[in-house]
Each structure stands twice: as C-alpha cells, then as structure tokens.
A and B are shown apart, each in its own frame.
Chain A
C-alpha cells in the first residue's frame, strides 16, 4: 500500500549548504498493517511522513501509495489523490478554529466532493463527540480535539492513515482511544504509518521502523 524506495530529501540551510533530512530510506506498509516510525528528534520522521503524504517532493527516490506515484501527478490531481486516499492526523490536531466539530469533520468533503452529513454525524458519534458536535475547537478538551481530528481523517474513507505523534499531547485514556482507532483502521484493511516517540504507542504497531541520524 505504501512503498518508499531509496528516498532522500535535502533542503538548503539558511546558513548555507544542504541539509540531509532523510537519506536512502526504504519503507513499505502493506494493506492491513500498522507501522510505527521511531527515532530521535530531527532524524527526519515527520519529513518522511510528509513525503509519504504527497506534500513534500523528495529530492530522489521512488514512492508509491495505493498503486499511484503521487509526485508524477499534477498539483490538482495530487490534491484530489490525497483527498481520496490519505488521512492525516497531527500532534497539534490542526482543526479549523472557527468551524464546529461537525463542520471540521466535513471539511474534507470540499476536497473530495462527497458531502455526507450522516457519515460525518456517525463519525462524531463514533468518537464520542456528539454532545460537542456544535462546539468550536477552543471549547474542546485536548483529547476531544484529537478525536475530532481522527474523525476528520477518516471522513473520506482513506486507504492510508498517516499520523504524526497523534498521542503526543494526550492523556493515557485519550491516547488509548486514538490508538485503538488506528488499529481498527488497519484491521479493516487500511495502512497506518505513525510517527511516534511513545513506547506505548509503538507497542501496538505491527512493525516498528527506527530511523537514525
């Protein structure tokens, strides 16, 4: 489902010269698999996740997501591909601050063109957010925000879930809820690639890949 071959990414440093963010990385996540990506800070985990998400073109290497090479697509096509295939979950949640929970869950519908209120309400209910459905993120607890972000990531029925430290800001109870949802997603045939520092989180993964400097 996810296949990265010899991925290298360099960027120009403001101080001059190139900085190697990731180098020669090979990685694959099959359907129904949950892979945790570990490593020290600055080793390029988040960069690799963005590359895998079709948001950051690598300097070199091959990438295939669900049988598609996203960087061979035009910008709009790649955006449409992301909308239909990939779900993102971030440590900082990145909910739209002026939309309530239900609208945040529905936000990907503008990208995919699939507006399904019932599905949005079902996801809100699934993550225990029905009483908070019409609250904006500022009125939610940290756990509720991450659950709302999870619901949003699942709205377009993606094939791949990319999670960047999804439990990093959560209490154990909410972290457990999020991890269980990631496991459930993988169990239903999806592929999960999760960047994490937490041992508890990586413990639930089918495979752990560790990146070094």
Chain B
C-alpha cells in the first residue's frame, strides 16, 4: 500500500475522469508532435526537392561545360596569334598574313604556364598559283601539327600533323584536279603524295592545300618563321579575348591575338542562360519552400500554445471536479492523519500518470496525423527531441493544470466537510 496504489485504484474507479484528462493532454501533445513531425517531413521533402533541383542545375552546368567544349572543338581554332606588326585590316581584306614571327614563339608559349588557350598550331599560309596544275589558285598551308602545352595533360589534337612528302587537299582542289588519297602530285618542283581529300566545308578550306610546315617554310623561303599560331580558347576564360590577349602578350610581347567565332559565343551564352534559369528556378524553389515552412511554423506557434492552454484549463477543471467529488475521502484521510503533502501527492501522482498516458497517445496520434498531412503516410521518423518535447509538454500540462486543484484538496479543512454530514 502506497500513494500509487491509491492513484491507480482511483483511476480505475473513475475511468471517465482519467480518460477526459488524458485526452485533453493527448490533444495538446498531438498538436505539438504533429506539428514537429509535419515540419520535419516538410524539411525532408524540401531537402529532397532541392537536392533534385540542385542536381538539375549541376547537370545543366555540366551540359553547358560539355556543350561549350564541343562547340569550341567543333569550331576549331578560334584564337589566332599574329605578329604584332600585322595589319589586321589588310589581313581581313586579303585573307592573308604578310608578316612573320619566329617559330620558337610556339615553343615558348607551350613551355609557359598559359591557361587561357589550348591546342597550339604554328602555321605558314600563302596564296599562290599552282604552276604544275595550270596555275590553279590555292592557299598553301604549312603545319607541323599541334605543339603540346608542357604543363597540361596531353589532349587529342584537333588537327593531325602532315608528314613530310604528304599533302592534304581541300574539296575544290580535289575536285578540280581529280585528286584522291594516294594520288601523286608535284608542287613547286617537290613531289607529294595525297594523304586525304577533304569533303566540302564551304569555306576557304575547300581551296586549301596542307603540307608539312618545314617543307612549306623551305618552299617559301621562310625557314624558322611562321605567320601565325592558331589556338583554341579555354572555356575557363572569363572575359575571353581581353584575358587571352593579356596572357599571351605577357609571354610573347611581339604578338597580338584575335578571336574568331561569334556564333559559337552566342550559343554558349544561350547555354549559360539555361544554367542561370535553372539556378533561378532553384532559388525560387528555396524561397517558396521557405515561405511555406514559415507559414507552417507560424501556424504551429499559434496552435500549440492555444492547445496547451486549452488542455491545461480542461485538466484543471476536470481535476477540480475530481477534488470536489472526493471531498469526503480527502476529509477522512485527513482525520486518519494524512499530511497535506500526501493528499497533494495523490492528485499530482494521478496528473503525472495521466500526463505519461497523454504523451504516448498524443505522440502516436500526432505522428500519424502529421505523417498523413505531410503526405509521407507516417513514414517520417519521430526524433528523440520530439519524444522528449512531447513528454515534457504532456507532463508539464498535466502537473500545471492539476496544481491548483491539488493544492485546494491538500488544504481542505477536514472538519468543515465532516460537519456537513
């Protein structure tokens, strides 16, 4: 026989009273745990959605990088490094470069730490009439193949080197002279074997003849000289040409650089815009989810205190009714010698048990309701913090709500009640 014996027997005897108080505590707990579960589910869902969006943005970014790389590569060399004294106006009008620079420039560039360009190709070019072919006008293009940049991993060359004694011809040249791979021709007295005849490109390339750089230099009397170094700009370059120029001129002061391929840049900008749009969409989603979460938090911050207050009031009124119902019992226990704190313990002990039961019921109900409202079907786990908060709230509400009625019971004057008989 102890206080708990009294508490449990009384709860069993007055089930409705205990049930009402447990339900009132359970409702407040359900509001709290439901709100916490809902917010947690919302956070999980937001995290998932944002991760998917983030992934989409990253994919868009990767697509952009890839597209840029492909565009650049497809475009071919889009940066031309020229001798500093080359008149660009004249070059654009004639399509030819008439100034030269040392061939060792390309090696100097390749051995530097340059980052804004890739794929360095030294060239000589000259318009001439092919004497052995009825003075057919052609562009002679001498190249030694790409010079690997020393500090970078080797890349697949955009253009393969032309071996000595070999020749590659453009579409028009091939068609007009009926040249195919394996044909043999003579150019400026030197024999060449056709390595390849290109398909139609619709550009000056169709009228071009490619041979080895060294042979071209010998034939044109330009030993150790080149007209230009072609390069492919790196996508990493921000303000493209100005950065490229700045870097190249710092390595090769006797040069100038120009950029080709505006359409490619437009496409790159469009792709870049796609990335910006995707990022904007992600930002909008974050903002929208944040607003929704804020609304839910504000609603919960209103609902939970109201439910708690209502529950505490109901708990207080129900306990007060219980105290009034048990006046004679309290009086006789007082007559038997019970101390007032023992009476207080009987009522607060009951409140504690009701609080624990209310916490369990409310926690389960809140998890189910919160899970259902979040659309996760109750799949959201209940965290330790939610359990602790729910139990704290339930027991706190039960004890606080019962405190005043329990105090009234403990201070009840036994003589007054016993005289009423």
Taking the complex as formed, is B78 at the interface, i.e. its CB lies under 8 A from any CB of chain A? no
Q: Are B334 and A55 in contact (CB-based, < 8 A)?
A: yes
Interfacial chain B residues near A80, Cβ < 8 Å: 337, 339
Complex-state Cα separation, A88 to B339, whole angstroms? 16
Q: Is the CB of A88 within 8 A of B336?
A: yes
A73 CA / B415 CA spacing, docked (Å): 17
Nearest A residue to B414 via CB reads: A55
Within 8 A of B (CB), among A57-100: 75-76, 79-84, 88, 90-92, 94, 96-99
Among B245-253, B324-332, B358-366, B368-376, the stretch that binds chain A is: B324-332
Q: Which residue of B lies closest to A153 (CB)?
A: B336
Contact of B153 with A by CB under 8 A:
no
* B328 lies within 8 A of A94 (CB): yes
Total contacting residues, chain B, CB less than 8 A: 28
Whether, in the assembled complex, A106 has its beta carbon less than 8 Å from a beta carbon of chain B, the answer is yes
Indicate if A174 sits at the interface (CB-CB under 8 A). Answer: no
Q: Which residues does chain A contribute within 8 Å of B332, judged by CB atoms? A: 88, 90, 94, 96
A75 touches B340 (CB 8 A): yes
What CA separation (Å) do A47 and B415 show in the bound complex? 8
Q: Is B19 an interface residue (CB 8 A)?
A: no
Report how far A117 CA is from B192 CA in the complex, Å.
124
Q: Decide: A50 and B338 in contact? CB cutoff 8 A.
A: no
Q: Nearest chain B CB to A14's CB is how many angstroms away?
A: 13
In the bound complex, residues from chain B placing their C-beta under 8 Å from that of A53 are 335
Are A109 and B1 in touch, CB under 8 angstroms? Answer: yes
Q: Indicate if A146 sits at the interface (CB-CB under 8 A).
A: no
> A94-145: which residues lie under 8 A (CB-CB) from chain B?
94, 96-99, 103, 106-112, 115, 136
Q: Report whether A79 and B9 are in contact in the complex, using a CB–CB cutoff of 8 Å.
A: no
Q: Which of A79, A84, A90, A156 lies at the interface centre, i.e. has the most chain B CB atoms within 10 A of its CB?
A: A79
Whether, in the assembled complex, B200 has its beta carbon less than 8 Å from a beta carbon of chain A, the answer is no
* Residues 384-421 of chain B, each 1 if its beta carbon lies under 8 Å from chain A, else 0: 00000000000000000000000000000011001101
Hey, which chain B residues are within 8 Å of A108, CB to CB? Answer: 336-337
Q: Judging by beta carbons under 8 Å apart, are A97 and B335 in contact? A: no
Q: Is the CB of B338 within 8 A of A90?
A: no
Offer 25 A-B interface pairs, CB within 8 angstroms, sorted by A: A46-B419, A47-B419, A56-B419, A75-B339, A79-B340, A80-B337, A82-B337, A83-B338, A90-B332, A91-B421, A94-B329, A94-B331, A94-B335, A94-B418, A96-B332, A96-B333, A98-B14, A108-B336, A111-B333, A111-B336, A111-B337, A111-B338, A112-B337, A136-B13, A152-B336
Which 8 pairs of residues, A with B, have the shortest CB-CB distance? A83-B337, A98-B13, A111-B337, A56-B415, A94-B332, A55-B415, A82-B337, A108-B336
Since A50-B419, A55-B418 are in contact, a sample of 20 more A-B pairs with Cβ atoms closer than 8 Å, ordered by chain A residue number, is A53-B335, A56-B419, A75-B340, A79-B337, A82-B336, A82-B337, A83-B336, A88-B332, A91-B421, A94-B328, A94-B332, A94-B335, A97-B329, A98-B10, A99-B6, A110-B1, A110-B2, A111-B333, A111-B342, A152-B336
Enumerate chain A interface residues (CB-CB to B < 8 A): 46-47, 50, 53, 55-56, 75-76, 79-84, 88, 90-92, 94, 96-99, 103, 106-112, 115, 136, 152, 156
